Amino acid sequence: MNKLKTAIAACLCATVVSAWGDKKPTTERWLDPNVNRVNVEPSRASYFAYGNFKDAQGNDKKVSNLYLSAEGKWKFNFVKDHNKRPLNFQQPGYDDSKWVDFEVPGLFEIHGYGDATYKNVGYAWATQFENNPPFVEEKNNYTGSYRREFEIPASWKGSDIYFHVGSATSNLEVWVNGKFVGYSEDSKTAAEFDVTKYLVPGKKNLVAMQVMRWCDGSYLEDQDFWRLTGIAREVYFYARPKKHIDDVFVTPDLINNYRDGKLGIVVTAPKAKGCKVKMSLRDARGNVVKTAEGTIGNDGKLSASIEMENPLKWTAETPNLYTLYFTLVDGNKELEVIPQKTGFRKVEIKNSQLLVNGKPILIKGANRHEMDPDGGYVVSVERMIQDIKIMKEHNINAVRTCHYPDDPRWYELCDQYGIYITAEANIESHGMGYEDKTLAKNLSYQNAHIERNDHNVKIYKNYPAIIVWSLGNEAGYGVNFEKAYDYVRAYDPSRPIQYERAIWENGKSEIFCPMYYPYKDCEKYCAKNDPRPLIQCEYAHAMGNCGGFFKKYWDLIRKIPNYQGGYIWDFVDQGLRGFNEDGKQIFTYGGDYGRYPATDHNFNCNGFIRPDREPNPEANEYRYFMQNIWTTPVDLKKGVVEVYNEFFFRDISNVRMVWELVCEGKVLKKGVEEALNVGPHEKKQITLGGYSIPDEAKGKEVMLNVDYKLKTVEPLLDLNYSIARQQLPVSDYKFPTLAEIMPKAEKVAQGKKKVAAEKVVKEEQLACLSLQAAQTTVTFNKKTGWVDYLDINGAPAFKKGYSLVPDFWRAPTDNDYGVDLQKKFAAWKDPKMDLKKFECKEFGDAKQVVAEYDMPTVSAKLLMTYTLRPDGQLVVNEKLTTDPNAKEKPMMFRFGMQLVMPQEFSKLQYYGRGPGENYIDRHWGDRIGVYNQNVADQYWGYVRPQESGNHTDIRWWKVLSGAGTGLEFYSNIPMECSSLNYLTSDLDGGPEKMAHQMHSGDLTPRKFTVVKIQERQFGLGGIDSWSQWPEPEVQMPYGDREFTFVINPLANPAK
């Protein structure tokens, strides 16, 4: 047991209670919660010590002769059950010739060894054995054994040599040249072993490792993610001089009213007592701006401070970094040089607000699991940079490392590019519940709670991006967290500490950090006189087609001072890249691997970014409401607007305003405003140069589109990238009235002229009735009452076999399934519609078909009225009358009509919100405009199929052939429309979601176009995916409804 463990154990006065019950105690380390690290070096700041300043300048350890990579191919043996592992495999003479070559870092399941398992609540062994901490079975406890020889540089002789493994799940044993070196748990922080006495520099040395799927520590690693096994992150050897620095702790601060900077410094070097430490602070250009030095005392420590007048400050908006070099000197000899990036910033809580550098920042955050669709836990630096780029593009300024510490390189990148971090310890015991069985109250796990927080804080303490420590996630609350809080608070007083479960038990959390708090509850909390700011650690659950009313959260955040934002759950869908039996790419989720797996289905796919890093549609809405520049109309007749800069630390002189005045798809005027000298949190009125509204726009809809585009390239953002955008209505659209849509009920007087033929011709036989006018022929099925055919100049515009029918259903979304709407609304999926009356009558110069239906399964009546105008346009009226005394009054998903068009009608042109899909409670990020798109692109490939492709505020919708013929749809009100190559049934998972393993990649597009024209559709919801319905104003309660729209056949190419 290392010194840290001994120290922690000594400070625990409570008696450790055995969790073994009547069972005989075991000496197995992997079943003892009080033995978590054996011969592992104490946690220390993440750094690499170089042999000289030149090597240290680039801070790339791979250029140092003190570094030796241990990554690449190792000899590997896999067994499904731990008790079948090879014995004595760590010995030099062991025959591994039949073992496979296996990549390190790499995970068993990703490479085909064992089954990837996903659980949210509960453990990966949920279908095998009951929870009984610390016990885990050997059956299905995958065990991987590794062997590889390394030639350690001869020049390392006389140095201390260490072996670094960045992450091993769930545990790690290490041997060198047949001798046991050490053991480690806590799969998400590095384990470093002093292997000096086991190695022979200049010769080949055998290193052996063994990793298990489960151990006693797995009870603390019940996070909501894929449960995988193996080694992730970096693996390498490094050498240090005998006299070296063990640790450095740099605490930044701001003094003198946040103007000047101060660095508090503690150097720990018990092996270098009496040696000097020279400290050199350099700016981004490498210039020395401050120096200090001191001597390591008899206690093995050196304390110092550096003060700097008005330094550049670090924030997520202004990530100004300095490098502090620590040079250890023994007499006249420089022994080693350690570079540490730092930034001058101060974090505090005052007046119920979280302040950074004195400002009450807004947390525009996301939770991010460390997950790659191809590597699982193995995430490349390139992927990390890609993730930060996506965050920057979507105005994300903060990340919570859910629910464990990440690769140190992630923190370096957040420092560099500017992302605030809530840094979370590797603790979640969700599967044990929050009551008496919670491990938060189990004293045998007290050491582990403290140790895991020790690892988190000590390794990552020097990253200025970290502004909050989090003790863990969903692990109950009890004395173990009380002790962990006290430990962290004593070690680092400079940052706030939070833990979500503590806030419900009057526990220790300095931020009120709930999960999925509804809008009203947020308001109620903020009305209290609570000193803790409200920052949701998880909110806006982004599962599938979602994101409804994100607007409501941000209206409150911008209104209430002590409500400062939150972290969206979560950043990226955790689907793994896979291929189905037909070789088509899919993204897999829980239940896709193995027999009788423990699974929570696709609940690990709730990111606003798809696994391949393509933004899901809701990302656009998040991007919009988290943007930092806002435009308010002042006088749009004269082109006067007010610009508000929501940044806290920078002006907006780096962007130009690009504006367009658009009239129903036509650009009337456009211009650029270069001089946007608006300071942080300031407003400024601007008169747009060259702005005027031409006479041609009178009586038409006019919009002012505004984009704020970068003048120069910024880190990870391209020139002209739009960091903020808005659309301001100047004048409204004039929808046609019903009177204008409908022909007059009386015939138009013809005077003395003789009419050669009727304007609308009727032809009837026993099976059907046809009406013909101009280029249009409409054929009704007299048995069903539906329109079976619509022909344009004799060519079919409807796919044979598909009629124009009422549509009340949608393929349930993940949010719908979460609250069983697919069952609650099931009566509307395929309601019985009995035709009671069918007649055709004169309607002035038009003809009108009326079909009346009884709908007994929903206690309603449906009246369908079709009026064919002499110009060939068909007016459709859908009128639903419900029974106010009905026993059951189910809501519906949509109210409208569906038709299917042949394959050649594959083009879309519409005037409404786009370009992406949008819904009644998720549309503000899309603009009203005229769009030309392909039907094939309308369905978005959510990991699991569901409703997709909707557009709101539709003025007109055209489905066209390549030649420009087709159908146009319009109404007297804004409509919602979609056109997909899928039927609703193709995307519908049925009443029991978990009965099907569906993937969008499995879908085969239909060779036709499914058109939905609707008054409106049920909202998506956006609070969570298991308890909250969409807001009342976007629901569709049982009741009377009526909708009128027009089908306009386009015989000639549409303009």
Would 615 be classed as within a structural domain? yes
Asked if residue 635 and residue 612 are part of one domain, the reply reads no
Whether 538 is catalytic is: yes
Asked if residue 973 and residue 826 are part of one domain, the reply reads yes
Would 973 be classed as within a structural domain? yes
What is this structure's pTM? 0.95
Which residues, other chains included, contact 376 with Cβ-Cβ below 8 Å and sequence gap of 6+? 107, 109, 110, 116, 226, 228, 232, 576
pLDDT band at residue 24, thresholds of 50, 70 and 90?
A: very low
Contact in structure between 701 and 727 (CB atoms under 8 Å) = no
Query: What's the rounded Cα separation, in Å, for the pair 520 and 498?
Result: 23
Q: What is the mean pLDDT of residues 365-392?
A: 98
Asked if residue 692 and residue 777 are part of one domain, the reply reads no
Render pLDDT for 416-427 as a digit per residue (tens, 0 to 9).
999 999 999 999
Number of domains the chain contains: 5
Chain centroid to Cα 403, Å, comes to 14
Query: What's the rounded Cα separation, in Å, for the pair 633 and 191?
Result: 57
Q: Residue 285: how many CB atoms within 10 A of its CB?
A: 6
Helix axes 618-625, 550-559, angle to 10 degrees: 10
- Report the pLDDT value the prediction gives residue 25, as an integer from 0 to 100: 41
Of 569, 596, 623, the position where a domain reaches its end is 623
Contact in structure between 755 and 764 (CB atoms under 8 Å) = no
Would 814 be classed as within a structural domain? yes
Asked if residue 1011 and residue 978 are part of one domain, the reply reads yes
User: Mean pLDDT in the chain?
Assistant: 95
Which one is catalytic: 412, 451, 538, 917? 538
Would 348 be classed as within a structural domain? no
Q: What is the mean pLDDT of residues 624-651?
A: 98
Per the structure, the complete domain to which residue 782 belongs is given by 763-1050
Asked if residue 219 and residue 74 are part of one domain, the reply reads yes
* pLDDT higher than 90, residue 248: yes
Tokens coding 988: 């519908």
DSSP-derived secondary structure letter, 537: E
Asked if residue 275 and residue 385 are part of one domain, the reply reads no
Of 240, 256, 283, the position where a domain reaches its end is 240
Asked if residue 717 and residue 665 are part of one domain, the reply reads yes
Whether 968 is catalytic is: no
Asked if residue 437 and residue 327 are part of one domain, the reply reads no
Contact in structure between 185 and 165 (CB atoms under 8 Å) = no
- Report the pLDDT value the prediction gives residue 27, as an integer from 0 to 100: 67
Alpha-carbon distances of 345 from 259, 263, 548, rounded to whole Å: 10, 10, 36
Render pLDDT for 98-116 as a digit per residue (tens, 0 to 9).
999 999 999 999 999 999 9
Beta strands in 471-591 (DSSP E): 497-498, 534-539, 563-568, 576-579, 585-588
pLDDT band at residue 745, thresholds of 50, 70 and 90?
A: confident
Spell out the SS3 assignment of 411-457.
Answer: HHHHHHHCCEEEEECCCECHHHCCCCCCHHHCHHHHHHHHHHHHHHH
915: CATH: 2.70.98.10
Contact in structure between 644 and 741 (CB atoms under 8 Å) = no
Contact in structure between 720 and 710 (CB atoms under 8 Å) = yes
Would 754 be classed as within a structural domain? no
Query: What's the rounded Cα separation, in Å, for the pair 218 and 205?
Result: 31
Which residues, other chains included, contact 123 with Cβ-Cβ below 8 Å and sequence gap of 6+? 131, 218, 219, 222, 431, 598
152: CATH: 2.60.120.260
- Report the pLDDT value the prediction gives residue 758, as an integer from 0 to 100: 66
DSSP-derived secondary structure letter, 50: B
Asked if residue 809 and residue 691 are part of one domain, the reply reads no
User: Which residue from 344, 309, 310 is spatially nearest to 324, judged by alpha carbons?
Assistant: 344
Query: What's the rounded Cα separation, in Å, for the pair 148 and 165?
Result: 14
Would 740 be classed as within a structural domain? no
Tokens coding 521: 């509850």
* pLDDT higher than 50, residue 86: yes
Would 177 be classed as within a structural domain? yes
Burial class (CB in 10 A: 0-12, 13-18, 19+), 963: exposed
Of 563, 588, 623, the position where a domain reaches its end is 623
Tokens coding 862: 């449906």
Radius of gyration (C-alpha) of the chain in whole angstroms: 33
Q: Could you tell me what percent of the chain has a pLDDT over 70?
A: 96
Tokens coding 237: 């050897």
Asked if residue 260 and residue 226 are part of one domain, the reply reads no
Contact in structure between 43 and 198 (CB atoms under 8 Å) = no
User: Which residue from 871, 905, 860 is spatially nearest to 776, judged by alpha carbons?
Assistant: 871
Measured between its terminal Cα atoms, the distance across the chain in Å is: 79
Query: What's the rounded Cα separation, in Å, for the pair 936 and 181?
Result: 59
Beta strand pairing status for 347-350 and 951-960? unpaired
Asked if residue 467 and residue 591 are part of one domain, the reply reads yes
pLDDT band at residue 226, thresholds of 50, 70 and 90?
A: very high
Query: What's the rounded Cα separation, in Å, for the pair 800 and 956?
Result: 25
Would 19 be classed as within a structural domain? yes
Asked if residue 211 and residue 326 are part of one domain, the reply reads no
Render pLDDT for 900-934 as a digit per residue (tens, 0 to 9).
999 999 999 999 999 999 999 999 999 999 999 99
Which one is catalytic: 41, 428, 474, 618? 474
526: CATH: 3.20.20.80
- Report the pLDDT value the prediction gives residue 750, as an integer from 0 to 100: 57
303: CATH: 2.60.40.10
Query: What's the rounded Cα separation, in Å, for the pair 429 and 501?
Result: 12
